[in-house]
Structure 1
Amino acid sequence: MVVSNKPLQQTYPYMETSINISETKASAKGKAPLLVSSKAVVEEPKRGWKKGIAISDFLLRICAIGAALGATATMGTTDETLPFFTQFFQFQAQYNDIPDFQFFVIANAIVAGYLLLSLPFSIICIIRPFATTPRLLLVIFDIVMTGLTIASASASASVVYLAHNGNPNTNWLPICQQFGDFCQSVSGAVVGSFIAGAILMFIIVLSAFALKRS
């Protein structure tokens, strides 16, 4: 019996005792750098524009507060007394003489108060751009406040129009010929209220884009 001292692989060249499997650097570390990198590239711009919208929302709310407060203060302090009056008659014009103007002052004061209280929620949206709950609450109340602002401004605008032009069919005389300062003040207040309403509508549009997930 002859025993060969040659290795088994040399004796039987067709046999292999090991199989070499090449590993990539990514699979050896158990990571997928390409996937992580692409995700980071997608998420970072999305977070950036959402945060930009939140900052714009905060600044617009401050502008709307100024417009609503200005309209409220202007209308609430409007008062004019004509220099000619007698012992029994005194010609004086005040905002509380007209119910539409009273509604205007109350409505714009409510809107200004709401906008002030909404600032902390707007700050939360800046810190957490992907938070949907505070943004959704703001959208709902913004829509309500926008309707209130536009309604009060529209009602007052109709009265201001009659004060400037009157109505010959009903024998309503234009009072702005006598109460010029009064009409100028209430007209400015109505314009300020419309500006606040326009800002609120723009805020709602921005919030709709911020709520968009894609």
Structure 2
Amino acid sequence: MRSSDSTTIDVPESKKDVPESSAIGKGKAPLVAVVVKQRGGWKRGVAIFDFLLRIGAITAALAAASTMGTSQETLPFFTQFFQFQASYDDLPTFQFFVIAMAIVGGYLVLSLPFSIVSIVRPRAVGPRILLLIFDTVALTLNTAAAAAAAAIVYLAHNGNSNTNWLAICQQFGDFCQQVSGAVVAAFVSVVVFVFLIFLSALSIRKP
């Protein structure tokens, strides 16, 4: 006997093609951004420290020049016709000191833009080489002026019996105090210049 009932087989609908981009993104962890540290980061820190040192050197150099340039003392006496006066311009060494320290201070002011360029572009070698060369020249001038003035200050404090150089600081106490402070400030700028040259040489080397 033939059955009139028909058998129906349900065929599941095929999944629609999922876009490849959606399939890739599905079930995947979000991408993690990796921050890569740029080369030369430590050089920017060195450049900032260089800039701060230059400001300190400017202060020391100009303070030395102004203190020496204003050093003067007159001993009081009963009459105005006989007065003993001590001034920096009485000695050529002190005059050279004032001129040299003024030049050094002016150079340091002019070097600040190059130091700023080194901060903005820490991997630039050109400004560093220029600073290294001129810092060395300025250090030589600064050291010469400070050493020459220190020798005169020593004689002013202690004298020299062999050359009949009297210790004038016993009478001109304020004058000697001023010139001694100027020499100390000059040697402070010498020490700062040594650090500046070291930083420039450190920045020039390859990372």
CA-CA distance at 1:86 after TM superposition: 4.3
Q: Structure 1 residue 151 and structure 2 residue 131: aligned?
A: no
Runs of 4+ residues over 2 Å off in structure 1 = 85-89
Unmatched tracts of structure 2, length 5 or more: 1-33
Q: Structure 1 residue 136 and structure 2 residue 145: aligned?
A: no
| Distance in 2 of aligned mates of 1:134 and 1:111 | 18
Unmatched tracts of structure 1, length 5 or more: 1-36
| Distance in 2 of aligned mates of 1:85 and 1:181 | 20
Q: 1:86 to 1:210 in 2, by over 3 A?
A: same
Q: Which residue of 2 aligns with 1:21?
A: none
**Correspondences of 1:194-205 after superposition (within 5 Å):** 194-205=187-198
Q: 1:163 to 1:51 in 2, by over 3 A?
A: same
Q: Which residue of 1 aligns with 2:95?
A: 102
Q: Give the letter for the 1:123 counterpart.
A: I
Residue 76 (structure 2) aligned to one of 77, 80, 83: 83
Q: Which residue of 1 aligns with 2:104?
A: 111
Q: 1:53 to 1:85 in 2, by over 3 A?
A: farther
Give yes or no for contact 1:80–1:94 (8 Å, CA) kept in 2.
Answer: yes
Q: Give the letter for the 2:185 counterpart.
A: G
Q: Which residue of 1 aligns with 2:185?
A: 192
Residue 43 (structure 2) aligned to one of 50, 53, 65: 50
| Distance in 1 of aligned mates of 2:145 and 2:175 | 18
In the superposition, the TM-score normalised over structure 1's length comes to 0.78
CA-CA distance at 1:124 after TM superposition: 0.2
Q: Which residue of 1 aligns with 2:63?
A: 70
Deviations 1:33-61 (A, max 9, x none): xxxx89x45xx2x4111000000000000
Q: Give the letter for the 1:142 counterpart.
A: D
SS in 1 for 2:170: coil
Q: Structure 1 residue 207 and structure 2 residue 194: aligned?
A: no
| Distance in 2 of aligned mates of 1:97 and 1:152 | 16
CA-CA distance at 1:89 after TM superposition: 3.0
Give yes or no for contact 1:85–1:91 (8 Å, CA) kept in 2.
Answer: no
SS in 2 for 1:110: helix
Q: Give the letter for the 1:172 counterpart.
A: W
In the superposition, the TM-score normalised over structure 2's length comes to 0.81
SS in 2 for 1:81: strand
Deviations 1:112-170 (A, max 9, x none): 00000100000000000011111100100000000000100000000000000000112
CA-CA distance at 1:110 after TM superposition: 0.3
- RMSD over equivalenced CA pairs, Å: 1.7
| Distance in 2 of aligned mates of 1:77 and 1:164 | 19
Q: How many residues align?
A: 175
Deviations 1:173-212 (A, max 9, x none): 1000000000000000000000011101110001100001
Percent identical residues: 64
**Correspondences of 1:20-35 after superposition (within 5 Å):** none
| Distance in 1 of aligned mates of 2:176 and 2:77 | 18
| Distance in 2 of aligned mates of 1:185 and 1:115 | 23
SS in 2 for 1:176: helix
